[in-house]
Amino acid sequence: MIPASFDYARPQSVDEATQILSGDEDAKVIAGGQSLIPLLRLRLAAPSVLVDLGGINELRGVHDDGDALVIGAMTTHASVLRDPLVARHAPLLAQATATVADRQVRHLGTLGGSLAHADPAGDLPAVAVALDATLEIAGPGGRRSVAAADFFVDYLTSAVEPGDVLVAVRVPKRDGWSSHYEKFNRMAQAWALVGVAASVRRDNGTIAEARVVLTNMGSTPLRAEAVEAALTGASADAPTVAAAAAHAAEGAQPTGDPSASAEYRSHLARVLTERAILSTLDPGRSSHAA
């Protein structure tokens, strides 16, 4: 279908973008267009004006900011993938990004777009929560920071309000942690039926801290808190991991659809959680280890 007609604006600064957006409640940001354009073509969205962030240099690139990386919201998946700072300090992000769609989508789609879109099947929201990222948002009232744990509000709903622009993603450096993203899909390059972002810090043969976050086990990324609690302080061995992973689906509310029933998603959560944590403990175990 052909989208409904809309005006087009290409601001050169974040301030200019928020001014346009706050002056028209039906205006909408477009980043890489990989999620929005299909919605426009199906006429599930009909904005009055598309505000293209592609001309705002401030929104692109990865910068070292001491104890964290600051990644501009318009940084494409492909740029994230080839960035040496991300590879060194946030390998979980690089590894999960490599599973997103195909090369064409990764060359246009952006990190900020993936997070702002807040799709429960998207891979990067769970990673943002697992890495304890902070989202920097500019709006009519100025700039604010929102923890990833509070950013994902509901199905396709984030803390980005009308009039706002997601500016950057601040990712703490996770030196000393090992991490892994385990994704199960029916076809290569497809969306996750379930995914697990795991990050573990070890100390003398025990697991000192663990962060385990599930993709597509509810309307927002879900921390597997029972798994984290079972791992913390436990010895880093396979039986302990298997026992902890058995709790993975606790508190989850997965939906059923033609690709997977809710019960099957719960089963996947347990299996993938075990695999993800074992891969953090033995990176050589999987070709995808980060």
Query: Which residues lie near ligand FAD (CB under 6 A)?
Result: 28-36, 53, 73, 100-101, 105, 109-110, 112-114, 116-117, 122-124, 160, 165-166, 191
Identity of the residue, 60 or 223, whose beta carbon is nearer to ligand FAD in the bound complex = 60
Identity of the residue, 198 or 241, whose beta carbon is nearer to ligand FAD in the bound complex = 198
Q: From CA 79, how far away is CA 60, in angstroms rounded?
A: 9
Smallest distance, ligand FAD to C-beta of residue 32, A: 3
216 near 192, Cβ under 8 Å? Answer: yes
Q: From CA 32, how far away is CA 186, in angstroms rounded?
A: 25
Identity of the residue, 177 or 191, whose beta carbon is nearer to ligand FAD in the bound complex = 191
Identity of the residue, 73 or 236, whose beta carbon is nearer to ligand FAD in the bound complex = 73
Task: For residue 68, give every residue at least 6 positions away whose Cβ sits within 8 Å of its Cβ, in sequence order, or none.
Answer: 170, 171, 172, 173
Identity of the residue, 189 or 261, whose beta carbon is nearer to ligand FAD in the bound complex = 189
Residue nearest to ligand FAD (CB): 109
Q: From CA 259, how far away is CA 188, in angstroms rounded?
A: 15
Strands (E) in the chain, as ranges, are: 7-9, 27-30, 49-52, 62-64, 68-72, 134-139, 142-147, 152-154, 157-158, 165-172, 177-184, 194-203, 206-215, 222-223
Identity of the residue, 122 or 254, whose beta carbon is nearer to ligand FAD in the bound complex = 122
Smallest distance, ligand FAD to C-beta of residue 171, A: 16
Smallest distance, ligand FAD to C-beta of residue 289, A: 19
- 204-224 burial string, b = 16+ CB within 10 Å, else e? eeebeebbbbbbbbbbbbbbb
Smallest distance, ligand FAD to C-beta of residue 247, A: 25
Smallest distance, ligand FAD to C-beta of residue 7, A: 15
| Three-state secondary structure call for residue 37 | helix
| Three-state secondary structure call for residue 169 | strand
Identity of the residue, 164 or 228, whose beta carbon is nearer to ligand FAD in the bound complex = 164
Q: From CA 231, how far away is CA 123, in angstroms rounded?
A: 23
Smallest distance, ligand FAD to C-beta of residue 99, A: 6
- Angle between helices 262-281 and 238-245 in degrees, nearest 10: 150
Q: What angle do CA 101, 97, 270 make, to 5 degrees?
A: 90
Identity of the residue, 124 or 212, whose beta carbon is nearer to ligand FAD in the bound complex = 124
Q: With CA atoms as reference, report the closest residue to 264 among 216, 223, 229, 228.
A: 216
